[in-house]
Structure 1
Amino acid sequence: MNYEELILGRQPILTRDGFTHGYELLFRNPGETSAVITDNTCATARVLVNMVQNFGLEKLLGGKDGFININENMLMQDILDVLPPEKLVFEIIENTVVSKALVERIKKYKEKGYRFALDDMFFSDEYMLMFAPLFPMVDYIKVDFALSEEKDIRYKTRELKKYPATLLAEKVETQESYLMALDVGFELFQGYYFARPNIVSKSSIEPSKISILKLLNLLGSDSSLDKIETEFKLQPEFSLKLLKLINSSSFFIRSEVRSIRHAISLLGRQQLQKWLIIMLYASKNKDSRRSPLLETVLLRARAMELLASRVYGEGSGIAGDAYFTGLISMLDVIFGISSSELMNSLNIEGNIKDAIEKREGRLGSLLRLIETSDDRSVAVNGDLLKQMKLSVNDVSEIKYASFEWVAEQQVLHGC
């Protein structure tokens, strides 16, 4: 095994007020359903070193902490010293055997400034007994909400609060779990709930989302510029944001644009559609910079765009459709309707519709590949890699480039 055979995933870890505290970095083989860390200690160490030297932690993490799984084999060898303690948190996996020698080794790493977390903790007697010596030593304790009963989380968490470690709720899948974690006093949160929120009922769709849907519908149905301009004028907030966007330095407009009609003409329908969809994802949080959903979908869209260019060529014309497909692929969680209803509402037909509803066609294949490479609970599709003549390293490089691009967008546009 070597590092070219590993696929990278990245999952945000959030604070109580919705800011990104850090990311868990997930390395695994294509076709496998779990993290790769336990397969080969030396190979994993090479991946980590390669990540630091060749790709750069700053691009990957954007100044946040990176959480990485390790086992006792890695801890007991002198290989972690090459990694920067100020950037990384080492997660001690749940099947680690805690020996006296391991405790002493962790103490030495702690003296050098390295930080540790207990991963996938659940409240069994065996787990609690095995890891009790580490409770006072680690910086984070990650409680697995998928394996823990609510009564255990509510009552046994009290014991953990005696220690200095920050409590992190992981595998938070539902709003109910998130609210319980808040109530119990967890400080950090991780799970699909934040990247793939619960579908809300149609009756609870915010007025602002309905207005954006109307505008997207007009753009998708080739409505006249007059109708689009009129709808914008009925939404002063969107009109102001559109003017701010078009007058930003990104567009290099020589004179200030004051007319909505002029702004729409300069921006173009396709770019306007993309901007409105980004507003939808950002609206999940009052401050768009806090939205993990927005970050996730931008990463997906950019990765699909780069993959399309790599597989089908720059001049194939599919890259723009790939970006748009990635951008709208998670809109159903915003509106609380099925993908089919959403496509009909937006008047989207053809290849993009087939990709979203059925994961079919070239765009659907790109979407499936990105989805499986992002999700550690799903096997990466090796057949798609062969079909597209891609190596796993190609996918990893494209995902790194996407991380870098999203970080640049956040700096340039404050999103």
Structure 2
Amino acid sequence: MAKDILMARQPIFDATLNVVAYELLYRDRDCQSYCPMIDGNSATSQVLLNNYTSICRAGKLSTLPVFINLTEEMLKSNHIPEISRKHIVLEILEGMDVDDMLISSIQRYIDAGYRMALDDFIYSPQYDPILQMVHIVKLDLLQLSDAELVRHVELLKPFNVTLLAEKIETLEEFDRCKALGFKLFQGYFLCRPQIIEGRKLSSSEVVMVQLLSLLADPNVTTAAIEEVVKRDPQLTYKLLRIVNSPLFNLVRKIESLGEAVVILGITEIKRWCALIAFSGEMGKPDELTRHTLIRARMCELMAASLAGISEPSAFMMGIFAGLDSLLDTPKDEILQHVILSDQLVSAIQFGEGVYGELLTTVDSYIMGEWNALPESYSAKTLNQAYLDSIVWVRESMGKLA
């Protein structure tokens, strides 16, 4: 893979908010749309597929399909990429002239076994021959008014295509698109909290937030961690189950919470407690947990090369930055239950200071907002930290299961 390529994935959901595919976003520092999965050899493509689209779900490793933009040059080339037809959906970009060459090129890919999608689609009768061929049509909610969206749904009904709504920003938009008949959904709407007025954190949620706050303290002791963890029987049980798993290969079974904390050590206990706290206990889709943990791990990995930033603090900053969405509670209310340094609070709430710049940079990278990345951050370092974070979260969630 080219060393300066920027690559990130964006989830594609079904109507029950399960992730059924990812779109691969990519760009180099010169804003060129070079995709190593298409232009590289088959071995490189398979490695990228495994890294970017494999997730652990219900204890099993699954490889999901990936949506990839296909430029006009790639589409009309005589070369068919040597990549898995089963795990690829090729997106035809907007703005291409509909002519015999385009139609025959699309047919060639379909005959080769690829699924095809129309990206950022705006209807015109000239697209009818293509609509008879492709499998998926993506409609951008930011490009269409409410009335135009309804009209497009009606216009596309005669064609045997699956509708995908992209750029969904709220759960209300998701519900509306679902009611209109969309089957697939894309956007970071899960990362926005659905604030419920008057809602208070439950006792178990308060324990979890207080534990995370404690773990953010660089001077925390094992005794202090044990004191908080034992307030939550489920958390205690899960922690003992982890430490007694084959992962640690112990010669005898550990039955004391204090022993478990000592054996794991402060650094490991911080990570495992954060993982356990998020492991399906809040009724949220798994992808939101994955997103939060990827952000936290990437913050931690990037902190290793930055002056004046603690790696454990960076990890916890990434966790707290997503708690409002996981708990559907405003950040300022969550922060009332915890004791964090002023640096971390300013970073989480306002993106201020060196920690704030790190958090903003990581968020921009994950969402594919390449233009917001500071020049001071190496593309190669960012890309490697993101990829390592995906792998770490996948493996860690697998071990929890």
TM over 0.5: yes
Aligned twin of 1:163: 159
Aligned twin of 2:23: 24
> Is the 8 Å Cα contact of residues 53 and 66 (structure 2) preserved in structure 1?
yes
Map 1:133-212 → 2, pairs under 5 A: 133-154=129-150, 156-201=152-197, 203=199, 205=201, 208-212=204-208
Cα distance in 2 for partners of 1:18, 1:361 equals 35
Deviation at 1:376, TM superposition (A): 3.3
Cα distance in 1 for partners of 2:262, 2:304 equals 27
2:341 is the alignment partner of 1:349? yes
Unmatched runs of 5 consecutive residues or more in structure 2: 55-62
Deviation at 1:218, TM superposition (A): 6.1
Cα distance in 2 for partners of 1:192, 1:144 equals 13
Deviation at 1:13, TM superposition (A): 0.9
Cα distance in 2 for partners of 1:48, 1:335 equals 39
Cα distance in 1 for partners of 2:53, 2:263 equals 35
Number of equivalenced pairs: 390
Query: Residue type of the partner of 2:178?
Result: L
Please state whether the residue corresponding to 1:116 is helix, strand or coil: strand
Aligned twin of 1:334: 326
Cα distance in 1 for partners of 2:230, 2:259 equals 13
Q: Among all aligned residue pairs of Structure 1 and Structure 2, give the percentage whose two residues are the same amino acid.
A: 26
Cα distance in 1 for partners of 2:182, 2:281 equals 22
Map 1:394-405 → 2, pairs under 5 A: 394-405=381-392
Deviation at 1:159, TM superposition (A): 4.2
Please state whether the residue corresponding to 2:81 is helix, strand or coil: helix
Map 1:331-410 → 2, pairs under 5 A: 331-377=323-369, 379-385=371-377, 390=378, 392-410=379-397
Query: Residue type of the partner of 1:248?
Result: S
Aligned-CA RMSD value? 3.4
Please state whether the residue corresponding to 2:124 is helix, strand or coil: helix
2:10 is the alignment partner of 1:11? yes
Q: Deviations over 1:222-281 (max 9, x none)?
A: 899888767655543333323323322333333223334443444456655544443454
Please state whether the residue corresponding to 1:345 is helix, strand or coil: coil
Deviation at 1:53, TM superposition (A): 4.2
Query: Residue type of the partner of 1:249?
Result: P
**Corresponding residue to 1:308 among 303, 307, 315:** 303
> Is the 8 Å Cα contact of residues 243 and 254 (structure 2) preserved in structure 1?
yes
Q: 1:72 to 1:373 in 2, by over 3 A?
A: same
Q: 1:325 to 1:220 in 2, by over 3 A?
A: closer
Aligned twin of 2:249: 252
Larger helix share, 1 or 2: 1
Query: Residue type of the partner of 2:133?
Result: M
> Is the 8 Å Cα contact of residues 72 and 97 (structure 1) preserved in structure 2?
no
Deviation at 1:285, TM superposition (A): 5.9
**Corresponding residue to 2:294 among 269, 293, 299:** 299
Unmatched runs of 5 consecutive residues or more in structure 1: 38-43
Q: 1:45 to 1:323 in 2, by over 3 A?
A: closer
**Corresponding residue to 1:318 among 300, 310, 315:** 310
Deviation at 1:284, TM superposition (A): 7.3
Deviation at 1:103, TM superposition (A): 0.8
TM score, norm. by length of structure 2: 0.83
Aligned twin of 2:57: none
Aligned twin of 1:41: none
Question: Which segment drifts farther, 300-309 or 199-208?
Answer: 199-208
